[in-house]
Chains A and B, each alone.
Chain A
Amino acid sequence: MEEFAALLDALVYTTSRNRKLALIADYLRRAPDPDRGWALAGLTGGLDFPAVKSSTVRNLMMERIDPVLWTLSRDFVGDTAETASLLWPEAEDAPPQADLSLAEVIERLAALTRATAPKELPGLFDRLDPKGRYALIKLATGGMRVGVSARLAKTAFAQAFGVNVEEVEEYWHALAPPYTELFDWAAKGGAPPDLANVPRFRPFMLAHPLEEGTVDLAEYAAEWKWDGIRVQLVRAGGETRIYSRSGDDISATFPELLDALPMDAVLDGELLVRGSAQGGEAGGAASFNALQQRLGRKTVSKAMLRDYPAFVRLYDVLLLEGEDWREAPWKSRRATLEALMARLPADRFDLSALVEAEDFAHLARIREGARDEAIEGLMLKHRESAYLAGRKVGLWYKWKRDPLLVDCVVMYAQRGSGKRSSFYSDYTFGCWDGDPDAGAELLPVGKAYSGFTDAELKKLDRFVRQNTVNKFGPVREVKRELVFEVAFDSVHASKRHKSGLAMRFPRIHRIRWDKPAHEADRVENLRALIKD
């Protein structure tokens, strides 16, 4: 545990990507099995201990320290795990005990229940120093926040043992922590994991944004960028799984799709629910808002299945009946996919149609009209492109429609966490419910915490501190003075907010230090943009 805690600590303080890679690789070479496998799982977010929540830790602390002192400390530090690791009252003269192994810690955490966690955790905390407690709480509650993405950790693994990272990625999703087979193969020269009959994830091909310039439509095909969730549907050995873009297995959320694929295949598409907002009345898809009803559910009710039936709008084929199509050019894969459609059940699959245009200017005009269809924009795919993992220059582009913009007034601010701890970086903003010069009120319409630079954040933080009119715990209410130009992708009706609206992907587009608050938009302007 000491070694792993030291690794986490070193990662926190290392900014250079190469030094991070070297630190992780060095740890993976040195650490014993199965500790290193558990460490890799921790770094990639592959561990889950539902019995331990952030609130479990908070409650343990509140029993041991004055709640006011806890809250003041937590607010300042900006991270529950770190605050608790520093404030845990250490036993004065506890005899030194041998270091706990990471595997031992994992085993104990896995055995906890909601009822036993508050009794067992203190014993673990007592055996560790602040660094060890920090690592333990981060492991237990998930989310390391040490600036290491899953991809970086896998790259470090590949670097540590001189294997190909794409290969690691391929095996990864078929294996479970502590990834024994992966280490046997990479670190000990064993046979690669046998995964022929495992419905495993293949890395997605991703697109670069088309910033400016044009492409030649003789070289590139265009299709709509549908507003659902990108999925990979895999059937092997008689079992079907659905993976999200990050490789998470989301099969349980969409049971109606698990017996829909009649042959072994790996298909790439957009998961949507039936409706008319995207792609027309007959056989069309609903807006993302409707799909959201289905996301993140562990059990799916019959009503859900009836009211929001899911289907996949197919983009691409990676494998089909034992044949690997990934090296083939896009145009051949497309032809294969088109031919396949007749063999797929029409209620669960349709084909993402190509958008035909005379030239790029014509395509641009078509894209402008896309808003009405609640579509995100266009995809441009090179007709000769193989299906390659990750984002490769010049092959696929996403050409998103321009965002919608609205002027809002900042109402509340909250401190951020992690790197932004102690800065007021999360803002709630509102629009007027009538004429502001005739006494209208502001109604909150959204929340955003991105879209500004570090320098702007400092200035915003100062604005919040100097214009606070009320404090509610970590939240400050500010004078209604500052206008944000907020960009967002779409807006939907919502019962959660007093304004009856919810924005999709709101972010701060510009800070209008110059604009008087009464010139900000009204709620009715925003309501007029609702499409579902």
Chain B
Amino acid sequence: MTAPSSWIRPEPHGIHVVPADAWVDPARPVPRALVTHGHADHARGGHGETIATPATLAIMELRYQTREGAVPVEYGETVSIGGGVTATFLPAGHVLGSAQILLEHAGERVVVTGDYKRAPDPTCEAFAVTPCDIFITEATFGLPVFTHPPIAEEISKLLKSLANHPEGCVLVGAYALGKAQRVIAELRASGHHDAIYIHGAMEAMCRLYEDHGVPLGELRLVSEASKEDMRGHIVVAPPSALADRWSRRLPDPLTAMASGWMRVRQRARQRGVELPLVISDHADWNELTRTIGEVNPQETWITHGREEALLRWCQLNQRRARALALVGYEDEDD
């Protein structure tokens, strides 16, 4: 058995699948890219060929205005990418279209998770536990202080604040791809059917989600509404808009933010958040450690986030692990 590291190499700018000369989530343009999901730090433009799920490709087309080189692969479908390597795309439960990529070569299995979570999400398919030799996992919330509560609790907190603040609105900062649509879908699932106002930057992405079978109910644009219209309503905007001049058009907004970082008080304070909602599309500490246990790989590679702590956990649990120094992945506003 060849050591897997001979054919799969972590490089600073992505994970290199050597026999196929393909890259997973490369941070710069390459001839052939395998893309796990549509967030900008994973799905960069300008590749010769981009192999990804149809939904991820649609998200990338929306951002980069081109479908050139797009190679769609459905969940569960296995494709040959050359050099005797096959790739299978499996649901990661992170956002619409997000996939883990199972790479097989010479009888060895490597899973690259991209970003993932285990909590249920009405906007995307659930994470599939896939046995493998090497498990390459994210660690965005890789500290034991991060445990995300059930989303229903956070949604009810949001609705309660809205009810207590009828003269104003509740402004929810949420990442424009994934988080915003999940929060809206969860609000609908909890029986909130009032119009929800959204920032213009989210309109196209919400429409894309609906086109992919995720109903979001009545959405209206903030830019087309008056202050009066928005009183007593929920407004969803990208986190960058919270402290921006843009928010001045809102009626007495109570500032909320949907993010896993909201678990830590001072993080919320640093951003001037008045209503922290601990809602994340990443695995929390318990999900990360449980997943490593369930996948039970020979070796765990940790890509980005708080890798030191997860590495320590692996060590304490007699699991072989290493941290990869990849560049370009950001602590997104998640």
Q: Is the CB of B266 within 8 A of A76?
A: no
Of the candidate stretches B4-12, B18-26, B74-82, B308-316, the one touching chain A is B308-316
| Chain A 398-423 interface mask (CB, 8 Å, partner B; 1/0) | 00000000000000000000110110
Within 8 A of B (CB), among A48-88: 65-66, 68-69, 72-73, 76-79, 82-83, 86-87
A-B contact pairs, 28 of them (CB 8 A): A9-B265, A12-B265, A13-B265, A13-B269, A13-B275, A13-B276, A15-B274, A66-B312, A66-B316, A68-B309, A68-B312, A69-B144, A69-B313, A72-B143, A72-B309, A73-B309, A76-B143, A76-B264, A77-B264, A79-B266, A82-B265, A82-B266, A86-B144, A86-B145, A87-B144, A418-B266, A419-B269, A421-B266
Q: Is A14 part of the contact surface with B, judged by Cβ < 8 Å?
A: yes
Q: Which residues of A contact B312 (CB under 8 A)?
A: 66, 68-69, 72
Nearest Cβ in chain B — how far from A376, in angstroms? 34
| Chain B 293-311 interface mask (CB, 8 Å, partner A; 1/0) | 0000000000000101100
> Lowest 9 CB-CB distances: which A-B pairs, in order?
A86-B145, A421-B266, A72-B309, A73-B145, A13-B274, A68-B312, A73-B143, A12-B265, A77-B264
| Chain B 257-300 interface mask (CB, 8 Å, partner A; 1/0) | 00000011110111011111000000000000000000000000
In the complex, what residue of chain B is closest to A147 when comparing beta carbons? B269
Q: Which of B145, B269, B272, B276 contacts A87 (CB 8 A)?
A: B145
Cα of A77 to Cα of B269 in the assembled complex, Å: 12
Q: Which of A13, A15, A65, A419 contacts B144 (CB 8 A)?
A: A65
Within 8 A of B (CB), among A402-454: 418-419, 421-422
Nearest Cβ in chain B — how far from A267, in angstroms? 42
Cα of A78 to Cα of B265 in the assembled complex, Å: 10
Q: Which residues of A contact B (CB under 8 A)?
A: 9, 12-15, 65-66, 68-69, 72-73, 76-79, 82-83, 86-87, 134, 418-419, 421-422
Q: Is the CB of A73 within 8 A of B272?
A: no
Cα of A444 to Cα of B134 in the assembled complex, Å: 48
Q: Is the CB of B309 within 8 A of A86?
A: no
Q: Is the CB of B143 within 8 A of A78?
A: no
Known contacts A13-B276, A419-B269; can you find 19 more A-B pairs with CB under 8 A? A9-B265, A12-B268, A12-B269, A13-B268, A13-B273, A66-B312, A68-B309, A69-B313, A72-B143, A73-B143, A76-B143, A76-B145, A76-B264, A79-B265, A79-B266, A86-B144, A86-B147, A87-B144, A419-B270
Q: Which residues of A contact B268 (CB under 8 A)?
A: 12-13
In the complex, what residue of chain B is closest to A8 when comparing beta carbons? B265
Q: Which residues of B contact A87 (CB under 8 A)?
A: 144-145
Within 8 A of A (CB), among B235-277: 263-266, 268-270, 272-276
Q: Is the CB of B266 within 8 A of A77?
A: yes
Q: Is the CB of B144 within 8 A of A73?
A: yes
Q: Is the CB of A72 within 8 A of B308?
A: yes
Cα of A134 to Cα of B264 in the assembled complex, Å: 12
Q: Which residues of A contact B308 (CB under 8 A)?
A: 72
Most A Cβ at <10 Å: residue of B266, B312, B316: B266
Q: Which residues of B contact A72 (CB under 8 A)?
A: 143, 306, 308-309, 312
Q: Which residues of A contact B275 (CB under 8 A)?
A: 13
Nearest Cβ in chain A — how far from B104, in angstroms? 34
Most B Cβ at <10 Å: residue of A9, A82, A86, A422: A86
Cα of A15 to Cα of B274 in the assembled complex, Å: 8
Cα of A14 to Cα of B276 in the assembled complex, Å: 11
Q: Which residues of B contact A14 (CB under 8 A)?
A: 274
Nearest Cβ in chain B — how far from A419, in angstroms? 6
Nearest Cβ in chain B — how far from A143, in angstroms? 14
Nearest Cβ in chain B — how far from A511, in angstroms? 21
Nearest Cβ in chain A — how far from B262, in angstroms? 10
Nearest Cβ in chain B — how far from A131, in angstroms? 10
Q: Which residues of A contact B269 (CB under 8 A)?
A: 12-13, 419
Nearest Cβ in chain B — how far from A425, in angstroms? 12
In the complex, what residue of chain A is closest to B312 when comparing beta carbons? A68
Cα of A83 to Cα of B272 in the assembled complex, Å: 20
Cα of A65 to Cα of B312 in the assembled complex, Å: 12
Cα of A134 to Cα of B145 in the assembled complex, Å: 13
In the complex, what residue of chain A is closest to B256 when comparing beta carbons? A13
In the complex, what residue of chain A is closest to B266 when comparing beta carbons? A421
Cα of A76 to Cα of B141 in the assembled complex, Å: 11
Cα of A334 to Cα of B316 in the assembled complex, Å: 72
Given A12-B269, A69-B144, A72-B143, the answer on whether A86 and B263 have CB atoms closer than 8 Å is: yes
Cα of A277 to Cα of B264 in the assembled complex, Å: 49
Q: Which residues of A contact B265 (CB under 8 A)?
A: 9, 12-13, 79, 82, 134
Q: Is the CB of A419 within 8 A of B266?
A: yes
Cα of A13 to Cα of B271 in the assembled complex, Å: 10
| Chain B 196-239 interface mask (CB, 8 Å, partner A; 1/0) | 00000000000000000000000000000000000000000000
In the complex, what residue of chain A is closest to B315 when comparing beta carbons? A68
Nearest Cβ in chain A — how far from B196, in angstroms? 23
Q: Which residues of B contact A79 (CB under 8 A)?
A: 265-266
Cα of A423 to Cα of B140 in the assembled complex, Å: 18
Cα of A422 to Cα of B275 in the assembled complex, Å: 21
Most B Cβ at <10 Å: residue of A12, A13, A73, A79: A13
In the complex, what residue of chain B is closest to A134 when comparing beta carbons? B265
Q: Which residues of B contact A66 (CB under 8 A)?
A: 312, 316
Within 8 A of A (CB), among B131-152: 143-145, 147
